[in-house]
A and B are shown apart, each in its own frame.
Chain A
């Protein structure tokens, strides 16, 4: 029987919570409201995932990511995605360089903006699929391969992309493979009345947010390792798997809405995201074990970009979030086998 909690574990957990709060506070200096978005972005950061922010222009998506970069002692890079952006513009290119001393010429790889730790892919859906696909390897393996040479990106590496759901003219919807590599898709909503007042006060009265870096890259990597140690009991894991599998049309756990409205369900990456997200939430809640509610909390941002509605779903004006909510409601926490 355990007589007490290991002090090292308790300390690490406490430190993580403090750091998380501190980071949130720093971001809060610049960003008004959007607590869920900030929490989502930070969650993705601490579990080593990438985030796709979707919202109409002017809601502070880019500003949020820039502020986060300021609050972290990490190398920040921004790419403005445009239709004529080429993969080499992101990854880098091999150039001929001449040694001034010897006059000898040689090919040298010039790093692109992807060689950073926080990469802001602004309006990612404006670039062509070819260019968008340049991010695939970097996002999954944290490496870049060009000219037969693989370059490792410095850890931690995050891609934080933004996209605009309107102005679809001249945009290229992200392919499913690309979307699946984003851990969360966060939908940025309009600010409330009070939040808007605060935004106006801050932006029209000479206020300048003094955001200080509170975490280093090593600390983030340490936190990522800490999160992975949180216990997920088999029945909670089973629930995460079942609720994810509820998105598979005609699958064993599919609900009626899934069979009717869903074209493609989520991949195993979704289950990984659910698990890691639940673990981080448990740690934030002061627990060392995950619960069903932790899984449910990250379910929408982890799943909404991985589930594709079919024609009927779109024709009937049903949103992905509606179907996902029904999945949570209709999937029992304890399965028959477990019970």
Chain B
């Protein structure tokens, strides 16, 4: 192998490396871009593609394809020699020398000799360096993009619809969630027999679409409406006079005064009544009864008397509290007589109520005020009558100190105990209703704001939902923020008076500079034109054709010029035709 060939081979190798670097760089850039695309699709459509094997495959493909390309596009000896010539500024000595290798011509041998002389002192490495791939920026960019796409969390690129799944799935999920909630509601209601008729409403078919709801929102909405109806019914029940009376009585009991001595036997009873704890009060009554029985058996008259007195005091307090002075005053002001008022508070008949309403109406009260007062009166009457009954029972209980009254006393305390037990039951019912109300509210909220991850089903991917802990609801929302800042805004637009005045300035205008001029050499020909238009146009067309053929007219205008003159020819022909017709007409008219 000659020196020239060695140098050329080294050049070929180095050029191949450079080519491979560039090709590999491009391939990796494309691979990176492709991988970014794959990750994007995977993230968007939640595909279960194995990303790591795909990345490895793309990398391997980039390497293999770049190697194949570099081998296929390997520089041949001639071009490698020319490349080295150019890089080293050898003025094609090497490539010409390579061409002349093995030829007999003295000139060609001289070329070979010259090339060998130069190549012996030539360093290919310094002239053909291994270069950093030019498209490396693209490669780095695409790989970075792929990495960034890979780091994006799966849910971030999904649309809301995609997150929620397909409509059918969503409907199914919603049906499950709604059923779950309604079952809970039914469970709540079934615990209380008063809801029997209300619960039936839950099993009624949906009002929309004849029971065939197609959208998740509709199903949810319908369920919420059912719960709303149930809630209304519970509210209605909760507002009944009995419960309101219990409420009022609790208020009354709160105003009971404690006995002065701390060791008073009725102290615990008063305290229990103060706290509205009917059960404790009932127990205390029971205890008092037993105590009285024991004391009587023991013959402790002083203590019996003391208890009786305290019970009597308590009864008096209750009697006093049974009358709502404010209400009585209000009714008196409304014109209700004292005896009527007394009767009404003791036993409020429908007739009395109607009469009162009429009376108030006449006085100019509005319906709302009338209803409110009537309701208050009813509640007060009920509570007052209960309080009075309790007071009587207490009074009877307090009669135990009197001789021969032992049986009456015991029965009075028993009666008081029964009344308290009745109040306790009503209170318990009230609490139940409150609990049902709370349960209904929770169900409603859960249906209104389902968990984003499990759509209210409480399960995600076969497991308990990690977002809501299996509850299915999104949890209570955030409350109101701080007070907002009002907008200043722009001042309202107002029209203003506008007027225009036309004025002419005093300026002197001249002729101005000549910006274009065509000068025609020669004398002006005066007189009539004796050349026909057709001939003039033909001559002009010939001239134009000549210019076109001699390329004196720019190519892009040649077509337009031809068209112009052909149009002119047609115009001339038409003109000749009309002239002939006109002359014929003239001749005809003259002959006539």
| Segment at the interface with B among A72-80, A90-98, A132-140, A225-233 | A225-233
Partner pick for A231 among B75, B85, B100, CB 8 A cutoff:
B100
The answer to whether B111 and A235 have CB atoms under 8 Å apart is no
User: Does B113 sit at the interface, judged by CB under 8 A?
Assistant: yes
- Of the listed stretches A107-115, A182-190, A194-202, A286-294, chain B binds A286-294
- How many positions in chain A have a CB within 8 Å of any CB in the partner chain? 35
Q: Which residues of B contact A315 (CB under 8 A)?
A: 554
Stretch at the interface among B91-99, B314-322, B471-479, B490-498: B91-99
Q: Is B92 a contact partner of A334 (Cβ separation < 8 A)?
A: no
Given contacts A4-B113, A287-B93, A291-B91, contact A339 B106 (CB under 8 A): no
Query: B554 touching A289 by the CB < 8 A rule?
Result: no
Given A2-B116, A3-B113, A9-B110, CB of A234 within 8 Å of CB of B99? yes
Specify the chain A residue showing the minimal Cβ separation from B109.
Answer: A2
Instruction: Chain B residues near A5: list those with CB within 8 A.
Output: 106, 109-110, 113-114
Q: Which of A8, A9, A229, A291 gathers the greatest number of chain B CB atoms within 10 Å?
A: A291
Q: Does B323 lie at the interface of the complex (its beta carbon under 8 Å from any beta carbon of A)? A: no
* Contact of A310 with B by CB under 8 A: yes
* Size category of the binding interface on chain B: 20 to 34
From B548, which residue of chain A is reached at the shortest CB distance? A311
Contacts of B93 in A (CB 8 A): 287, 289, 291
Contacts of A229 in B (CB 8 A): 105, 107
What B residues does A333 contact at CB under 8 A?
82, 86
In the complex, A19 has a CB within 8 A of chain B: no
B110 A6 Cβ-Cβ under 8 A = yes
* Nearest CB on B from A52, distance (A): 23
Beta-carbon contact of B106 and A9 below 8 Å: yes
**A212: Cβ under 8 A from any B Cβ:** no
B85 surroundings in chain A (CB, below 8 A):
291
- A334 CA to B100 CA in the complex, in Å? 19
- Chain B residue numbers with a CB within 8 Å of A119 are none
Chain B residues whose CB sits within 8 angstroms of the CB of A287 once the complex forms: 91, 93, 111, 114
| Min distance, Cβ A229 to any Cβ of chain B, angstroms | 5
Which A residue's beta carbon lies closest to that of B98? Answer: A233
CB contacts under 8 Å to A, within B20-77, are 75
Q: Are A9 and B107 in contact (CB-based, < 8 A)?
A: yes
Question: Is the Cβ of B96 less than 8 Å from the Cβ of A231?
Answer: yes
Contact B112 A1 (CB under 8 A): yes
- CA of A6 to CA of B109, assembled, Å: 8
Known: A231-B108, A233-B99, A235-B95. A338 touches B82 (CB 8 A): yes
B179 within 8 A of A: no
Contacts of A293 in B (CB 8 A): 91
Tell me if A24 is interfacial: C-beta within 8 Å of chain B: no
Q: Is A39 located at the chain interface by the 8 A CB criterion?
A: no
A303: interface (CB < 8 Å): no
Contact with B along A7-27 (1 / 0, CB 8 A): 011100000000000000000
A235 to chain B: which residues have CB within 8 Å? 78-79, 82, 92, 95
CA distance A287 to B109 in the complex (A): 12
Decide yes or no: A289 and B82 within 8 Å by CB, A235-B95, A236-B96, A311-B551 being known contacts.
Answer: no
**How far does the Cβ of B1 sit from chain A's closest Cβ, in whole Å?**
10
Pick 27 A–B contacts, CB within 8 A, sort by A: A1-B112, A1-B116, A2-B109, A2-B110, A2-B116, A3-B113, A5-B110, A6-B106, A229-B105, A229-B107, A231-B100, A233-B92, A233-B99, A234-B78, A235-B95, A236-B92, A263-B551, A287-B111, A288-B108, A288-B110, A288-B111, A289-B96, A289-B111, A289-B114, A290-B96, A312-B554, A334-B83
A residues with CB within 8 A of B: 1-6, 8-10, 229-236, 263, 285, 287-294, 310-312, 315, 333-334, 338-339
